[in-house]
Structure 1
Amino acid sequence: MDDRLPLSQRAMSRRTLFKAGGVLGVAAAAGAAFQVSPLSAAEQALAAPGGAVKLNVLFIGAHPDDEAGNLGVFGQWNEFFDVKAGVITVTRGEGGGNAVGLEEGPPLGMMREAEERKAVGYAGIEHVFNLDGLDFYYTASAPLSHQVWGGDAVLGRIVRVVRATRPDVIVTMNPSAVEGNHGNHQQAAMFAVEAYLAAGDPSRFPEHLAEGFAAWQPRRILRAGANGTGANGEGGVAAGYTPSVASDVVFGCWNGTPSARNGRRWSEMLDLARWAYVTQGWAEMAASPTDPAKISTSWFTVIHSRTPLADPRSGGDAALRGAALPIDGGLPFGTLIDVRPARFEAVAGQSLAVDVTITAPDDAKLAGGAVTLAVPSGWSVSGSQSVRALKKGGSQRLTFQVTAGSDPVGTQARVEATLTAGGASGTTFAPLRVAGAVEATISPLPEIRLFREWTAGLGMKHLDVLVPELFPVGQGRTRPLDVIVQNFSDQVRSGSVSLELPAGFAASPAELPYAGLGAGATATLTFDVANTDTAIPTANRASNGGNWPVTVRAVSDAGTAARSVTMNLVPAYAVQRAEVAPVLDGVRRDDEYPGDPIPVETIWDGSPMGGTTASISAKTWITHDDANLYLFISVADDIRGTILPAADNKRQRRTDSVEIYVDPRGDAPNTAHTFIGGIMPSMDTMTGAPGVGRDRDNWQGEAAVTAPGMEVAVRMAPTAAEYAGYDLEVKIPFSVLPDNLDPAHVGFNVVVNDSDTQNKAAQNRVGWSTFPGMRADPWRWGIITLDGIADAGAGPKDPTLPDTAARSVASPQSILQSAGDQVPLGGSSKADHALKVLSSSVSGGIAKVALQTPRAGTARVFLWDGAKVLGSTEKAVGSGRTDVGFPVSTTASGTGDSLTGTPASPVLAVSFESQSGVSAARAPLGGRSR
């Protein structure tokens, strides 16, 4: 048995599905096992409880395109097993980039929705639920995303869609606060986990039940992606996956499977889907390899499963087996095995209760049998327990006692529950972590602390495992470091904690005691950590990439437990006051900028032409007076990148530009509490005025509005032939910063973006503090001090964020879908009334539509030809009949799109919004809704 997955294999099929050349056999098998219903899609939807469409798989992401990498897999599941998938997208991505035009805000969101619908259509997906969350800007902060989206309001919408569509399996992104995880992606995945747990609980969001949606419990939730190693090629799934977290269970599906339906491999279909996201520049992505051995395998990590699991090596459908599809020869389909340890930490020699709940299918009885619990070698577990025969939907809970062995602290393990009943068996699992009796680790960054509180509250602490434990120290500086001591044992403990740091760093004191720490209790000890050798390279310039290992050692009467954490050394600089205020003319004079320059030449992203920094580097001089920061930035560059039009003064990272980062008090949890200025040295022409703005910070937008008083002067050669770089001189008033300055600790960074092409893409980026993730992690910026400035204390300004999200009630494609699948627009409250189109006509370029609405609200009417809006109107209406008229274009494309289900002739899409909820209707032109 493979020790990477010691799940019982007795009832698990070892069929190898999705083999190249074996598609017809698979398709035939699928057809025999899963007969296509003779009902039409509309009839099936209306036949479902509550009138809404039934899905098997539901992907939950943040933006259009988040699902893209999984579409080859979803397409296979749909083709071979008639699995119906849908997609929840919290936002329409209206705050993102646009590689094909100047549209932004809601118009861009509608473009991205259309791209998404086209892309997922290649996988046979017809149901996309955009939830109208605001896409504001790039952030690594899940808490900021939660705040902007409205927290439980968006969670409620997700739960409503889950209850309406009743998926068996949820697939989502990575919910863990790992480095580099987009905050929107993380928060969307956190919502997915919460929805997985909440949707089956009728006490959560009870208003949904009043709307006609019953509580629904999904059976499994998967994370798209995995940490570890697995092979590409046809045999990759059968070879298995080696996870970096030993307790993970990872399923795979090869993207190279031939598709009889499409006449090409699914990797090629995946390419077509990705290329549909043109606004994101994905149309230029390279095609997948044609060599089958190099075609990718998509991997999925189990977050939680309530059902038996198939052998992950048995085929590309294994991720669904037991939840959306039966396991051949396994327990009756729909049998649930839910394993719940009393806590995530298992202490050697200490008993831990593990509950196992067995539930019979809703439509079948379950024969009596027995449950056994398997644990790692060296552990002990109480014996097998019997399960009585269960009626349909009946449950029985059993409690086992598990005692961990002497595995090293931090070992990841699984307990596996196997139910044997009626001549069949099935197994699922729960992860555990071997803990020391007492452990100590650094106090986490604020947003990491919030994430850990969230996982603990949900009983999902295994999601913490990949989260790094990090802290910064300034070059030549000393900082206090809080260390949290926790007693995981069931006895009072006393002992000591020490820090072991690499050469060039010191901790004071070397050791601190703790005493009388109760069972389950924590205590905080504070050390001073210093960088004593200022010659050590800062940021990622060190050979270890700037990741300095620190051991936190806790000693108690039960033994010693050590945890490894990571220290980052950030650069520091003392800014001298200007004797005279610099003249903003793009020329540096000796008396204007005292002190040496800050070097801005270390690769942060990309690799400059020729593999060296010769093609891009910069020096930054900085000074200040009582009211302003002044910077002189001299950039050496060999090729001028794209010169954007003045109307495109945003997203400076697409061409040659400079970004200036300021965290006024050096303690911002995310960039919404910072200043990030972006400067493109010229726009329109080589000698045009610079583009100056703020991006992904406390107030994003053009500097004339968001940073009044900010000034920029530029010196640059007037022609491309003479170009050798540019000089910027910048004044940033303290008044535009989002908080008062702490002159002893200002977070600061400079990044230079370098584009050597004309395709609106910067290939290379150099900076001063150049850690991965720096762009969104203010705590990894450098530190500057300002002499002669008094600290006025904190006076933070609330972030000013974009406030216009693209909305489903204004999206013809969403309206048409909702009118068909009966899932409320945007996941909003389902109206307690019907919207009807009584009649419609077009004459003389004017559309006339008669509506029936039962109460006052807002009606939006669109004439849609399958590709574009031919005309529309928005009107406040009362109850009863309302007649509306609006001009329409006479140049309908009439093309339609079979992939997205859009009509080949114009159709009316109508939404109605009132205090009681939203509703949608569709009607053919000249006809009425039904």
Structure 2
Amino acid sequence: MNDPQLHPPHSLSRRTVLKAGGGLGLAAAMTGLDWASLTPAEQALAAPGGAVKLNVLFIGAHPDDEASTLAALGQWNEYHGMKAGVITVTRGEGGGNAVGLEEGPPLGMLREAEERTAVGYAGIENIFNLDGLDFYYTASAPLSYSVWGGEAVLNRIVRVVRATRPDVIITMNPSAVEGNHGNHQQAAMFAVEAYEAAGDPKRFPEHFAEGFSTWTPRRLLRTGANGSGPAGEGSLATGYTPTVASDVVFGCWNGTFSERNGKRWSQMLDMSRWAYVSQGWGSFAPGTTDPTKIANTWFTVIHSRGPVVDPKSGNDAALRGAALAISGGLPLGTLIDVRPGHFEAVPTQAVPVSVTVTAASKLAGGQLTLKAPAGWTVSGPVSVPALKQGASHTATFQVTAAANATVGTQVRVEATLTSGGASGTSFAQMRVAGAVEASVKPLPEIQEFRNWTAALGFKHLDVLVPELFAVGQGRTRDLEIVVENFSNQSQSGDVAITMPSGFAITPRSLPYSGLAAGKTTSLAFKASNTDTSIPTANRPANKGSWPVGVHATSSLGSADRNVTMNLVPTHAVQKAAVAPVINGVRGADEYPGEPILVDTIWDGSPMGGTNPTISCKTWITHDDANLYLFLQVKDDIRGTILPKEDNKRQRRTDSVEIYVDPRGTAGNTAQTFIGGIFPSMDSMTGAPGVGRDRDNWQGEAHITAPGMQVAVVMADTTEAYTGYDMEVKIPFSVLPDNLDPQHVGFNVVVNDSDTQNKAAQNRVGWSTFPGMRADPWRWGIITLDVADKGAKPKAPTLPDTAARSVESPQSILQSAADQVPLGGFAPAKHDLKILSSSISGGSVRVALQTPRAGTARVYLWDGSKVLGSKVVKVSSGRTDITFLAVTNATGKGKGDLNGSPTAPVLAASFEAADGVTATRALLGGRS
């Protein structure tokens, strides 16, 4: 990865440039120097003063979330001069670590360094870490919102947007689709809100007193797309075929050759990915070099205020009309903002659509027209007066869907502005709706997401969100159906439900009446599994996605919706006559009843047949205070054995996970118990590693689950390894709630690794669906013979230490250069200054001038590590600080305090209740 082609020779030394950085004529000093050859610290020192102006801003949750975009961002930087930046809500300190034992803030700092290296290949110099807490994998956006601090994080994102003034914001998928990481979803939801809020003077007005102004980004994209798209050189001309017909998907071919780096951008993308070594990405195989197979990077438009071009028109099409001008088009910065009055269009009923034109510069008078699909009717063209720079004009059109428009289809309405001989087109999405539609009541977190999209006017983000419910094998459950009137008049009718064979619904239909326009009502049904021979989980040919039809009638016709039912396994647990002894041996009378089979493939290769490579039988019993399990695991190859101090994140090697949702109602895993057990640590016969992960209280079991016991007996290994027996006791007292004995959510997952690289290849479970480890409602159901003491939930205990920007030399150096406040927090009212600095005998002396009482931190940084630091409480005025620094034994090379090619730098931060600030200086100098 130290390819000389990436860093062509340069005529000026780093030290010469950095010396020039202390004065004003830096631009001249930078001539002839390859910026990418500088370390992040040197780049920060060499950067000109003043707040940075970005063209593109990526907003994600963790370091590496931006990875898929780097080939596109890199070539946009190289060939169009686009300056991109990255907001990362967390530093990923809650994630895994494939290269060491660092966790918490030290891991966060490591991952920040990896991210800066990775994005540097794409010419990205500005990363804004917002100090959000990275806790553990979850599919819950609401949990992420709560842990991160909700509106406070949005405030910081908007501050960074207003400071950096990006034309295009790129984010991840904000929709609550299956398998979407809750952190990713919430970061993207924040991005959508920031796109709307940054230009609104009523949102976060305190920013204006800090020196920032409103800023209206012109386009909002998400990475990836739903549908299919070609690969290979020239494939963009074919275009992407989206699942949702109204989606606009731009592409950028990764195979473009980089003149700057002497290789294709797909190869640069490989190098970027390899930089995320703590996440195990360093071992990824390189991508194809066959131009006919190199992929495109796809971006889906969430919203665009700027005019759009044909997505098939080239690698830069996603930028045209927003960050780059359209040849022959309207002046760059002209906005055409299309907003339907509501997303649903009922055939024959008019919907108002407003279009707001804003002038980037003086705009001649012109005409605005609106186009809808064939057969729809639209009110006529509207004249737009001449507009001064920054002035706006809004016109309202009436759009009516055709009487024969197909309910459930998504369409675009396109507004075209013609002015001064030029024109531009933007669009909005709508959905053809039945007058009345009915569907299953969504899960609470899905309903919360839908409420959010409705409040923002972004309901098109709902389109691919699945409508799901689960039923237990051989069980009956209440099924609430929500009926919604999208028409403009009161409606009456009925709702009928169609179930697949082997399932039943009672009653088959129900009436509703007098449902007012725009209102909803609920109907109560009961859904049952009547054929218990049907395979549960993802084992059927349909992968466990059973179709259920919901048919609603009204005075204006009928509408059908399809929802998905999952069949989850069930098991009646028999009470123990005598409590089992936890010794790893299943006594004859200890575990009454039949075992559950934990052999359904969830992830990895098929393992069926008479001799599967991984399988498990699990016997379960209980007494009045404990749950007991005996697991017989069959395995053929032992995965890596971790050291005992690495007892965390069990899916990296052979392990067992036990899931318990005490009342079967958990919305996310923070309301559950998830035990994770390595059968042995340190050696084949070492004691098992027992802990909890992704649940109500993550950590080693002796702290988080007192009284939990585990015993493991390895199978006879004299000839060959064949697996292990495991016995587990889980006290009810460590569960996050009292048990509902008739509906305990339960699952067992066995992770199987056949390598030594800390990566599990295969996973089997009892109840297996995509995203299952984060979806308690899709776990199996067990019943117990205990009393129901009623709900008494425990609040989750989550990590409380996030890596912080004021403690990161990398962030401090950048903030001092780009003038964007550390972590996106409010800037201190007065500057922090380094008045002088020196070193003698390994002792560093620094004189600081601080703006007021608070905490100052000073770091000596050599471009890759801290050589020395000091944290002090200070008052306003001068403070003298002394600390020891580590030097190389030879006195030469990187980090040498006496004059190496990479000179050490001082990075200083200050924080108080009302703000933060940062500064930097070469050692021996002043800021």
Q: Distance in 1 between matches of 2:161 and 2:113?
A: 23
Task: Kindly provide the amino acid, as one letter, of the partner of residue 620 in structure 1.
Answer: T
Give the match for residue 13 of structure 2: none
Q: Deviations over 1:599-623 (max 9, x none)?
A: 0011000015799871100000000
User: Which deviates the most, 77-86 or 870-879?
Assistant: 870-879
Q: Which residue of 2 aligns with 1:264?
A: 263
Match of 1:107 in 2: 106
SS at match of 1:466: coil
The answer for the alignment partner of 1:381 in structure 2 is 378
Change (3 A) 1:598 1:549: same
How far is the alpha carbon of 1:590 from its aligned partner? Answer: 2.3
Judge conservation of contact 1:865–1:903 (CA < 8 Å) in 2. Answer: no
Alignment check: 8 A CA contact 1:44 1:53 kept: no
1:412 matched to which residue of 2? 410
Aligned residue identity for 1:199 = A
RMSD: 1.7
Aligned to 2:557: 559
Deviation at 1:717, TM superposition (A): 3.9
Please name the residue that 1:429 is paired with. Answer: 427
Matches within 5 A, 1:160-559: 160-361=159-360, 364-405=361-402, 406-559=404-557
CA distance in structure 2 between the partners assigned to 1:822 and 1:726 by the alignment: 58
CA distance in 2, matches of 1:682, 1:696: 21
Contact 1:89 1:129 (8 Å CA) reproduced: yes
Alignment match of 1:756 (pick from 738, 754, 757): 754
- Asked if the contact 2:825/2:916 (under 8 Å) is kept, the reply is yes
1:530 and 1:574 map into 2 onto residues whose CA distance is 18
Residue in structure 2 matching 1:912, options 883, 886, 910: 910
Q: Are the equivalent residues in 2 in contact too, given 1:631–1:731 (CA < 8 A)? A: yes
Kindly provide the amino acid, as one letter, of the partner of residue 174 in structure 1: N
Whether the aligned pair in 2 keeps the contact of 1:636 and 1:724 (CA below 8 Å) is yes
State the one-letter code of the partner of 1:870. L
Task: Give the conservation status (yes or no) of the 8 Å contact 2:44–2:813.
Answer: no
1:255-304 CA deviation, whole Å, 9 max, x = no partner? 00001111111011111100000000000111110100111100000000
Deviation at 1:878, TM superposition (A): 1.2
The answer (yes or no) to whether the contact 2:577–2:590 under 8 Å persists in 1 is yes
Partner residue of 2:76? 77
Closer, same or farther: CA 649–44 of 1 in aligned 2, 3 Å: closer
Distance 1:552 1:513 in 2: 13
Q: Distance in 1 between matches of 2:116 and 2:695?
A: 31
CA distance in 2, matches of 1:526, 1:752: 38
Asked if the contact 2:895/2:904 (under 8 Å) is kept, the reply is no
* Equivalent residue letter for 1:925: L
Contact 2:538 2:769 in 1 (8 A): yes
What's the CA shift for 1:42?
8.7
- SS of the residue corresponding to residue 538 of structure 2 reads helix
- The one-letter amino acid paired with 1:686 is M
Alpha-carbon deviation of 1:721?
A: 4.5
Deviation, 1:392, is 1.3
SS of corresponding position for 1:540: coil
Look up the match of 1:630: 628
Residue 823 of structure 2 corresponds to residue 832 of structure 1:
no
Runs (4+) of structure 1 exceeding 3 A deviation are 36-47, 608-613, 717-722, 892-897
Aligned partner letter, 2:387 = L
CA distance 1:843–1:296, shift in 2 (3 Å)? same
CA distance in 2, matches of 1:890, 1:390: 63
Question: Equivalents in 2 of 1:174, 1:113: separation in Å?
Answer: 22
- Per-residue deviation, 1:854: 2.5
- Partner SS state of residue 575, structure 2: coil
Residue deviations 1:451-483, cap 9 Å, x none?
A: 000000000000000100000000000000111
Is the Cα–Cα contact under 8 Å of residues 479 and 527 in structure 2 kept in the other structure?
yes
- Counterparts of 2:822 and 2:705 in 1: how far apart (Å)? 38
The Cα of 1:589 is off from its aligned counterpart by 1.7
Partner residue, 1:23: none
Offset from partner CA, 1:90-139 (integer Å, 9 cap, x none) = 00000000000010000000000000000000000000000000000000
| Contact residue 196 and residue 217 of structure 1 kept, 8 A | yes
* CA-CA distance at 1:516 after TM superposition: 0.4
C-alpha spacing 1:346/1:38, structure 2 compared with 1 (3 Å):
farther
- Displacement after TM superposition at 1:39 (Å): 11
- Counterpart check, 1:890 vs 2:887: yes
Question: What is aligned with 1:784?
Answer: 782
Query: Deviations 1:503-553 (Å, cap 9, x if unpaired)?
Result: 111111111110000111110101001111111110001111000000111
Change (3 A) 1:321 1:760: same
Q: Which moved more, 1:582-591 or 1:596-605?
A: 582-591
Partner of 2:854: 857
- Once the two structures are superposed, residues 5-25 of structure 1 have per-residue CA deviations (whole angstroms, 9 ceiling, x without a partner) of xxxxxxxxxxxxxxxxxxxxx
Deviation, structure 1 residue 43:
12
Query: Would the aligned equivalents of 1:375 and 1:381 in 2 still touch at CA under 8 Å?
Result: yes
CA distance in 1, matches of 2:759, 2:282: 14
Determine if contact 1:867/1:893 at 8 Å carries over to the other structure: no
Provide the C-alpha distance between the structure 1 equivalents of 2:181 and 2:44, rounded to a whole number of angstroms: 37
Aligned length: 884
Tell me the secondary structure at the aligned position of residue 741 of structure 1.
coil
Contact 1:45/1:54 (<8 A) preserved: no
- Which residue matches 1:871? 868
TM-score (norm 2): 0.94
Q: Which residue of 1 aligns with 2:843?
A: 846
| Greater Cα offset, 382-391 or 94-103 | 382-391
Q: Output the amino acid matched with 1:70.
A: T
Question: One-letter code of the match for 1:497?
Answer: V
Specify the code of the residue in structure 2 equivalent to 1:456. Answer: A
CA distance, structure 1, for counterparts of residue 225 and residue 172 of structure 2? 10
User: Aligned equivalents of 2:391 and 2:244: distance in 1?
Assistant: 35
Q: Is the 8 A contact 2:847 2:879 kept in 1?
A: yes
Helix, strand or coil: the match of 1:876? strand
CA distance in 2, matches of 1:896, 1:492: 76
> In structure 2, how many angstroms separate the alpha carbons of the residues matched to 1:893 and 1:642?
40
Structure 1 residue 46 displacement after superposition = 6.5
Gaps of 5+ in 2: 1-25, 31-42
SS of the counterpart of 2:518? Answer: coil
Provide the C-alpha distance between the structure 2 equivalents of 1:494 and 1:53, rounded to a whole number of angstroms.
Answer: 58
1:668-687 pair list within 5 angstroms: 668-687=666-685
Residue aligning to 1:4: none
Which residue identity does 1:298 align to in structure 2?
T
Structure 2 counterpart of 1:819: 816
Alpha-carbon distance change, 869 to 43 in structure 1, aligned in 2, over 3 angstroms:
closer
Deviations 1:133-164 (CA, angstroms, capped at 9, x unpaired): 00000001000000000000100010000000
Q: Deviations over 1:375-433 (max 9, x none)?
A: 11111111111111111111111111100012221010010001111111111100000
Separation of aligned partners in 2, 1:608 and 1:893: 56
Change (3 A) 1:600 1:43: closer
What is the DSSP-based 3-state SS (H/G/I as helix, E as strand, rest coil) of the residue aligned with 2:642?
coil
Tell me which residue corresponds to 1:804. 801
Q: Secondary structure at the match of 2:292?
A: helix
Mapped to 2, the partners of 1:860 and 1:831 lie a distance apart of 15
Q: CA 1:846/1:719 → structure 2, altered by over 3 Å: closer, same or farther?
A: farther
Whether contact under 8 Å (1:353, 1:400) holds in the other structure is: yes
> Counterparts of 1:537 and 1:609 in 2: how far apart (Å)?
16
- Paired letter, 1:475: Q
The amino acid of 1:255's aligned partner reads N
Q: Secondary structure at the match of 2:302?
A: strand
Structure 1 position 683, deviation (Å):
0.5
CA spacing shift, 1:346–1:888, aligned 2, 3 Å: same
- Shift of the 252–471 alpha-carbon distance from structure 1 to 2, 3 Å rule, reads same
Write the distance in 2 (CA, Å) between the matches of 1:767 and 1:46. Answer: 56
